[in-house]
Chain A
């Protein structure tokens, strides 16, 4: 169903800890976006990377940071985790119109 792979699928962290989520984009897709989806809500845009440069950011604090690598895979890092960071984190890649989403990482902060 999807060429975007996210890891891990589930994760439990303690408040104050740091977490790194990973995403392998679909082959050839040079744009990667990250979204946060709280329970019962639509996905909220965190940021986007195009050819290893951040080229758009949503309303998220600086403790949310990211990287894109030369092979277009990407990481999302969140420092100083808060309880409200508990959500499904979705990665999406694109080469043009229309995005391919991964299955997400379910992060629970306790």
Chain B
């Protein structure tokens, strides 16, 4: 069963615009992680937010976490064509630093030049 479910499934924006992607999960978590995957290649770890954090920034990325709503959002500001990829949220259910990750189906982001 899926823990994380991303929304929307697909997103198409113009270069320079902001992209907002959402993720909902079902069980308690220790942390939530966002990954990017380019065209069927390996996943790249973008950012990790712990359950006691509400917001985190990394470059053009901003992640929020609302544990009361069991949801997270990933904002990419000033998007570039190179941001075109699939984005996944992943959680280690129940905590644990090295617990397995449960992924959603991902969001396909297309950034038009």
Taking Cβ atoms with an 8 Å cutoff, the residues of A that contact B are: 1-2, 4, 6, 31, 33, 35, 40-45, 48, 50, 56, 58, 88, 90, 92, 94, 96-104, 106
Report the bound CA distance from A6 to B105 in whole Å: 23
In order of increasing CB-CB distance, the 4 nearest A-B pairs are: A42-B103, A103-B42, A101-B42, A101-B43
Q: Are B2 and A42 in contact (CB under 8 A)?
A: yes
Known: A42-B2, A88-B40, A106-B40. A100 touches B45 (CB 8 A): yes
Complex interface residues of chain B between 39 and 58 (CB less than 8 A to chain A): 40-45, 48
Contacts of B44 in A (CB 8 A): 1-2, 101
Pick the contact of B104 from A42, A45, A94, A100 — CB < 8 Å?
A: A42
Interface flags for B89-100 (1: CB within 8 Å of A; 0: not) read 000000001111
List chain A residues, Cβ under 8 A from B40.
Answer: 88, 104, 106
B27 to chain A, nearest CB (A): 15
Interface size class of B (residues with CB under 8 A): 20 to 34
Asked if B105 contacts A58 (CB within 8 A), the reply is no
Interface, chain B (partner A; CB < 8 A):
2, 4, 31, 33, 35, 40-45, 48, 88, 97-106
B102 partner residues in chain A, CB cutoff 8 A? 45
Taking a contact as CB atoms closer than 8 A, the residue among A40, A44, A48, A90 that contacts B42 in the complex is A90
Measured CB to CB, the nearest residue on chain B to A31 is B98
For B103, give its contact among A2, A43, A94 (CB under 8 Å): A43
The dominant DSSP class at the B interface is loop
Distance of B111 from chain A, by nearest CB (Å): 19
With both beta carbons as reference points, the residue of chain A lying nearest to B35 in the complex is identified as A101
**Interface residue from B45, B97, B100 paired with A101 (Cβ < 8 Å):** B45
Are the C-beta atoms of A33 and B103 separated by less than 8 Å? Answer: no
A27 CB to closest chain B CB, in angstroms? 16
CB closest residue in chain A, given B105:
A42
Return chain B residues, CB-CB under 8 Å to A33: 100-101
B45 to chain A, nearest CB (A): 5
